[in-house]
Amino acid sequence: MSRILLVDDEPNIVKILTVCLTQSGHAVTGAASAEEALSRLEATEFDLLISDVRLGSGMDGLGLLQASLSRRPELPVILITAYGTVELAVEAMKLGASDFIRKPFKLDELRHTVANSLARRSKMAAAVSPPALTEAAGGVPLHFGLMVGESAEMLLLYERIEKVAKSDASVLIQGESGTGKELVAQAIHRLSPRAAKPCVALNCAALPANLLESEMFGHAAGAFTGASHRKDGLFQAADGGTLLLDEISTMDAGLQSKLLRVLQERRVRRVGETTDMAVDVRVIAATNESLEEKKEMGAFREDLFYRISVIPVELPPLRRHSGDIPLLVEHFLRLQAKAMGGELRLDDGVLGMLMRYSWPGNIRELGNAVACAATLCRDGLIRVEDLPPRISRRPAGPAVSPAGPAERFSVTGTPPPLRDFLRDKEREYMDMIIQHTGGNRVKAAEMLGISRATLYRKLEGDTSVPPPSSPPECASTPSRLRGTTETESLPTG
């Protein structure tokens, strides 16, 4: 017996459809508004949602569809309307509806549509593997074989991943750099019915627009200078599986339009060709910027935003789950020890210093700091002086939370001198700006209103020796294609 939530503002329609579906062996619960339906979804597990598009005042059926997918991504939704058009049906399917029925309809048509939606849901649920919780060497829990962390923030994220994996809707992963967006995409793919097919990642910020288009869609021989042979794009490479478009916020307007067409029609055309090819790809987009803000500014297409953000996933920065730092450090230590063929341990005071640091680069920065210390340490013992200077030069007292200037901290023992405190806050601010520019210190110096030489001296903590000359830095190092092999993934939150 399947549990169906039926939403319509006309009581007679609810009664007729309830009798029809009950006779087919289903348990039906009625709701007169979208708001009532959402309340029932919070309180009860349902197998299917059926809603009229027109629901009187308040939220309509399309709004209910989006809200329900946000809460229950795996729940199939059938929309019904007497005002149906082809355009409305297409819009509903784009937003994630499992099916669409136009009034007037026969009750047999409703029964058939309901049976198909429930059958697809059962098939997807059977294909999804149970959540994987393994243990790395030393007993550190690895969620989905990839991620470390047992805080409330991370447990909520794991629960979200499990729900999202059961759906085939587009996902938008947002979070600061270094929080593990690609690992979340891999976890979603591993738990999905597409797990047996490829999971391909593309960094949209690493290539200029013309090369990015070729990388995504492929090109014909002679399509442009250097195109000596025909090449398939990553949409074809990921056919049947998942394509992660990392840093999608950097994609220019022209390519956004072409991507929208592919997502709508599920067909791609190689650059330089005139024929389309069908593809079956689930797209997961990721960004460390606010796409909502870019949309409002006109820098990102509104229709594409709604198309890729059917299910949003927010990743917490490390400072919000700093209680996971000991587990993460232990995990990174064991990875480094295995790579170096020896044992590693922490000296007194090192873990406390790591706990006090604000980690603007999040988990990636923590992993790099452990790797640096493991390389520099002697006799396998990591001391404070082996840590990167930005961490080891912090005062011994508790750090101020980076969440806001109004937050306070307690002082145990002698507080740091004002000069040291201001120096560290200045360093935190510079690190934040460098993070914002993607590591481009030239842009960071411009934003800070100081010369590049001054920025280098402040970062090195030396006001007397100028930095060595070097060529201009780039915002990022091109990363064309990343797969999902175990050796390439970094098991973190």
Indicate if 114 and 59 belong to the same structural domain. yes
Environment class of residue 449 by beta-carbon count within 10 Å: exposed (0-12), middle (13-18) or buried (19+)? exposed
Q: What is the dihedral of CA 30, 35, 38, 43, to 10 degrees?
A: -70
Indicate if 116 and 235 belong to the same structural domain. no
Sign of torsion, CA 49 50 52 53?
Answer: positive
Environment class of residue 413 by beta-carbon count within 10 Å: exposed (0-12), middle (13-18) or buried (19+)? exposed
Indicate if 250 and 302 belong to the same structural domain. yes
Indicate if 169 and 58 belong to the same structural domain. no
Helix axis angle, 418-436 to 452-460, nearest 10°: 120
Indicate if 313 and 206 belong to the same structural domain. yes
Look at residues 389, 385, 335, 314 and name the one whose alpha carbon lies nearest to residue 357.
Answer: 389
CATH code of the domain covering residue 61:
3.40.50.2300
**What is the number of domains present in the chain?**
2
**Cα–Cα–Cα angle for 285, 289, 293, rounded to 5 degrees:** 105
Indicate if 44 and 121 belong to the same structural domain. yes
Does a structural domain hold residue 352? no
How confident is the prediction along the chain (493 residues), in pLDDT tens digits per residue?
Answer: 789 999 998 899 899 999 999 988 899 999 999 999 999 988 888 999 999 988 877 888 888 988 888 788 778 899 987 765 666 766 777 677 888 888 888 888 888 889 888 877 776 655 444 445 555 545 678 888 889 998 888 988 999 999 899 888 899 999 999 999 999 999 999 999 899 899 999 999 988 888 898 889 988 887 777 767 888 889 999 999 999 999 999 999 999 999 999 998 889 998 888 888 999 999 999 999 999 999 999 999 999 999 999 999 999 999 999 889 999 999 999 999 988 888 999 998 899 889 989 999 999 999 999 999 999 999 999 999 999 999 987 654 444 333 333 333 333 345 556 666 677 777 777 877 777 776 778 777 777 777 777 777 777 664 333 344 443 333 333 333 333 333 333 334 4
User: Does the global pTM surpass 0.85?
Assistant: no
Rounded distance between C-alpha atoms, residue 266 and residue 280, angstroms: 7
Rounded distance between C-alpha atoms, residue 91 and residue 305, angstroms: 14
Does a structural domain hold residue 344? no
Domain coverage including residue 95 = 3-127
CB neighbour burial string for 7-33, b if at least 16 within 10 angstroms, e if fewer:
bbbeeeebeebbebbeebebebebbeb
CATH code of the domain covering residue 190:
3.40.50.300
Indicate if 311 and 187 belong to the same structural domain. yes
Domain end among 76, 105, 127: 127
Q: Please count the helices (runs of H) and the strands (runs of E) in the chain.
A: 19, 18
